């Protein structure tokens, strides 16, 4: 039993060290600039659109939704632009409106090709 605990402790220390080193490396990369991020009600759905400034390579985005502005869940994945097409910097998706809620909150989770993660500002949309 003690051998297991020693191994487990050593694993936690190694994992924490690697995670810290990975974060230090990630902070050296350029941050993405998400521009023109907006959510708009369109009949029975919410259109979610945004663009970027093209300075960071994007692996994918996760569109996250919350009913309270605090607890978010992923509702869509949007792949990054084709690196061979330099004029592609606009993204979008839609979400079905939940008729049981009065408002919804959305944010974007950007995942870079190196694995670093950034979150956008939170956008709220109210339903009548």
- The string of pLDDT tens digits covering residues 90-119 is 899 999 998 888 999 999 999 988 888 999
55: pLDDT strictly greater than 70? no
User: Topology of 32-126 in CATH?
Assistant: Immunoglobulin-like (2.60.40)
58: pLDDT strictly greater than 50? yes
Distance CA 32, CA 48 (A): 18
* pLDDT at site 88: 63
Distance CA 47, CA 55 (A): 25
Percentage with pLDDT > 70 across the chain: 69
What are the structural domain ranges in the chain? 1-30, 32-126
**Cα-Cα end-to-end distance for the chain:** 60
Secondary structure (DSSP) of 28-97:
TSPPP-EEEEEEEEETTEEEEEEEE-SSS-EEEEEEEEESSSSS-EEEEEEEPPPTT-TT--EEEEEEE-
CA angle 120, 32, 71 (to 5 degrees): 20
Task: Write the pLDDT tens digit of every residue in 6-15.
Answer: 344 433 333 3
What would the mean pLDDT of 50-64 be, rounded to a whole number? 84
**Residue 10 in tokens:** 């050593």
Task: Write the pLDDT tens digit of every residue in 22-46.
Answer: 444 444 455 778 888 999 999 999 9
């Amino acid at each position: 039993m003690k051998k297991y605990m020693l191994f487990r402790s050593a694993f936690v220390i190694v994992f924490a060290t690697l995670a810290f080193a990975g974060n230090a490396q990630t902070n050296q990369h350029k941050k993405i600039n998400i521009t023109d991020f907006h959510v708009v009600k369109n009949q029975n759905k919410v259109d979610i659109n945004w663009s970027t400034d093209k300075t960071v390579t994007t692996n994918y985005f996760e569109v996250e939704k919350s009913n309270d502005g605090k607890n978010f869940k992923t509702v869509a994945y949007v792949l990054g632009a084709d690196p061979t097409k330099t004029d592609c910097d606009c993204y979008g998706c839609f979400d079905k409106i939940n008729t049981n809620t009065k408002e919804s909150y959305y944010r974007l989770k950007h995942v870079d090709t190196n694995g670093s993660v950034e979150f956008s500002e939170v956008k709220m949309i109210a339903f009548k």
